[in-house]
């Protein structure tokens, strides 16, 4: 059983790579989805309210992501505290899924934008970075999320540079074109390398 982590900044094409892994039989753990759901955990909610205030949940008890985003935007200390609170609950859920997959010998791909920030690479056999030129990522974000170039630029400025991903990942996928077939071939080559490298190490 293999546990692989895949990461990259917004607009890199990471999600499309994950779907190719899924078709190859991997169980994909989408950390964004877990992060969205983890705030329903009573313990996590209690910690968040203690630090950020009760009004981060609206009158219907729904977590107000926009309000929290406004609080932590351009405030590294508060962003760090948000991550400190939520990451441990996210990691716990990921570890539970991995344990389930171990029983059935199912390979796992952890799709995590904050793979390194959350120290998730420590539970991975290998890590993959998906990178692309900044201008290309901005163009993708504008088209995908219907936001301005300025907003896309600000979003990327709050994320790790591609140089960091390239330096720390075991494999790197360069995704500068918009050819899905080309990306498919690159991911398939990584899958072949993964099997060979893991077999050599075991």
Quote the CA–CA distance of 202 and 11 in Å, as a whole number: 35
**Confidence bin at 179 (pLDDT 50/70/90):** confident
| Segment 103-122, tens digit of pLDDT | 999 999 999 999 998 899 99
Total residues found in the chain within this entry:
202
Average pLDDT over residues 96-109: 95
Bridge-based pairing of strands 126-131 and 108-111 is: unpaired
CA of residue 188 relative to chain centroid, distance: 20
Contact criterion met (CB below 8 Å) for 11 and 181: no
Return the CATH number of 3-195, one of 3.40.50.300, 3.40.50.2000, 3.90.1150.10, 1.10.287.70.
3.40.50.300
DSSP of 74-98, one letter per residue?
T-HHHHHHHHHHHHHHHHHHHHHHH
Helices (H), the chain: 14-23, 31-38, 42-52, 65-72, 76-103, 134-145, 149-157, 162-168, 180-201
Average pLDDT over residues 178-190: 90
Domain boundaries, the chain: 3-195
Distances (CA, A) of 199 to 121, 125, 169: 19, 12, 19
Quote the CA–CA distance of 129 and 67 in Å, as a whole number: 30
**Confidence bin at 59 (pLDDT 50/70/90):** confident
| Secondary element (H or E) of residue 3 | strand 3-7
| Segment 127-159, tens digit of pLDDT | 999 999 999 999 999 999 898 999 899 889 888
Contacts 24+ apart (CB under 8 A), 173-182: 173/13, 173/17, 173/128, 173/129, 173/130, 173/131, 174/131, 174/132, 175/12, 175/13, 175/17, 175/130, 175/131, 175/132, 176/132, 176/133, 176/136, 180/16
């Amino acid at each position: 059983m293999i546990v692989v982590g895949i990461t990259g900044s917004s607009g890199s094409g990471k999600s499309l790579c994950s779907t190719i892994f899924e078709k190859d039989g991997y169980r994909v753990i989408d950390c964004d989805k877990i992060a969205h759901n983890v705030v329903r955990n009573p313990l996590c909610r209690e910690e968040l309210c203690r630090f950020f205030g009760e009004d981060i949940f609206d009158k219907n008890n729904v977590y107000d992501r926009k309000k929290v985003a406004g609080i932590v935007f351009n405030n590294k200390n508060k962003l760090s505290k948000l991550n400190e609170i939520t990451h441990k609950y996210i990691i716990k859920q990921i570890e539970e899924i991995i344990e389930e997959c171990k029983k059935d010998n199912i390979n796992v791909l952890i799709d995590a934008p904050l793979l390194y920030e959350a120290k998730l690479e420590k539970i991975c056999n290998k890590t993959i970075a998906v990178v692309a030129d900044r201008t290309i990522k901005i163009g993708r974000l504008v088209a995908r999320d219907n936001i301005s170039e300025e907003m896309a630029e600000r979003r990327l400025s709050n994320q790790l540079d591609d140089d960091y991903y390239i330096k720390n990942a075991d494999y790197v996928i360069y995704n500068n074109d918009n050819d899905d077939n080309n990306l498919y071939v690159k991911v398939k080559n990584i899958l072949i390398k993964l099997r060979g490298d893991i077999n050599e190490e075991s």
